[in-house]
A and B are shown apart, each in its own frame.
Chain A
Amino acid sequence: MPLLLKTTRFIESQIDTFLDIVSDSATTFQLAIEDYLHGRIPEFEDRLSQIREHEHRADDLRVSIERFLYERTLIPENRGDVLAILENTDEVIDNIKDSLLQFSIEMPEIPIVLNELWMQTTKASVAAVEQLVFAVRSFFRDLGAVNNYIHKVYFFEREADQIGERLRRKIFATEIELSRKSQLRFFAIHIERVSDAAQNVCDRLSIYTIKRQL
Chain B
Amino acid sequence: MFFFYLLSGLFLGWSLGANDTGNIFGAAVETRMLKFKKAALIAAIFITLGAVFEGSGPSGTLGKLGSVDALGGAFTVALAAAIAITLIVRIGIPVSTSQTIVGAIIGWNVFSGRLTDYRSIITIASSWVMAFVLSAIIAAVLFYLAKPWVNRSKSHLLVQDLFIRNALIVVGAFGAYSLGANNIANVVGVFVPVSPFTDIHIWGPFVLTGVQQLYLLGALSIVVGIYTYSHKVMRTVGKDLFHLSPITALIALMAEAIVLFLFASRGLYNLLLSLGLPTIPLVPVSSTQVIVGAVIGIGLAKGGKNIRYNILGKISLAWIAAPILAFLISFTMLFIMQNVFEQKVREKTQYIFDRITVTKIINDGYDPAALSSVNGRSFTTERDIYHELTEFRDLSRDDISQIIEIAEIYPMLVDTASLTKSGMYRRFSPEQLSVLRRYDGQEFRHKWQLKALLTTHKEFEYYPKPENELQKNQNRVLDEQLNQLYRSFRIEKE
Contact = CB atoms under 8 A, between A and B. Distances in A.
Contact of A214 (B32, B155, B248): B248
B245 A4 contact: no
A73 interface: yes
B158 A142 contact: no
A91 to B, nearest CB: 21
B159 interface: yes
A13 to B, nearest CB: 10
Interface string A172-214: 0000000000000000000000000000000000000000111
Contact of A76 (B146, B246, B247): B246
A77 B156 contact: no
B157 A82 contact: yes
A214 B153 contact: no
Interface residues of B, number: 25
B143 A141 contact: no
B151 A12 contact: no
Contacts, number: 60
Contacts of A105: none
B157 A77 contact: no
Contacts of A214: 143, 146-147, 150-151, 247-248, 302
Contact of A75 (B153, B154, B161): B161
Nearest to B302: A214
Contact of A1 (B150, B161, B166): B166
Contact of B162 (A5, A73, A140): A5
B33 interface: yes
Interface in A1-57: 1, 4-5, 8, 11-12
A8 B146 CA distance: 22
Contacts of A212: 150, 157
Contact of B151 (A11, A74, A75, A143): A143
Nearest to B155: A141
With most chain A CB atoms within 10 A of its CB, the pick from B153, B161, B166 is: B161
Given A8-B162, A73-B35, A77-B245, A213 B151 contact: yes
Interface in B287-305: 302
Contacts of B31: 76-77
A73 B147 CA distance: 24
Given A1-B166, A5-B162, A8-B158, A76 B153 contact: no
Contacts of A78: 157, 161
A144 B148 CA distance: 10
Contacts of A11: 158
Contact of A12 (B154, B156, B166): B156
Contact of A139 (B33, B146, B157): B157
Interface in A96-143: 139-143
Nearest to B246: A77
Contact of B159 (A8, A144, A213): A8
Contacts of B246: 76-77
Interface in A56-78: 73-78
B contacts with A: majority SS = helix
Contacts of B159: 8, 12
B162 A141 contact: no
B34 to A, nearest CB: 9
A8 B161 CA distance: 9
With most chain B CB atoms within 10 A of its CB, the pick from A1, A11, A77, A78 is: A77
A11 B397 CA distance: 68
Contacts of B377: none
A213 B147 CA distance: 8
Interface string B155-184: 111110110001000000000000000000
A140 B158 contact: yes
B152 interface: yes
A74 B158 contact: yes
A162 to B, nearest CB: 34
Contacts of A73: 32, 35
Nearest to B149: A214
Top 5 A-B pairs, shortest CB-CB distance: A76-B32, A214-B147, A8-B158, A214-B150, A75-B161
Interface of B: 31-33, 35, 143, 146-147, 150-159, 161-162, 166, 245-248, 302
Interface of A: 1, 4-5, 8, 11-12, 73-78, 82, 139-144, 212-214
27 contacts: A4-B166, A5-B162, A8-B159, A11-B158, A74-B158, A75-B157, A75-B158, A75-B161, A77-B31, A77-B32, A77-B246, A82-B157, A140-B156, A141-B155, A141-B157, A142-B152, A142-B153, A143-B151, A143-B152, A144-B151, A212-B150, A213-B151, A214-B146, A214-B147, A214-B150, A214-B247, A214-B302
Given A78-B161, A214-B248, 7 more contacts: A4-B162, A77-B31, A139-B157, A141-B156, A142-B153, A143-B152, A213-B150
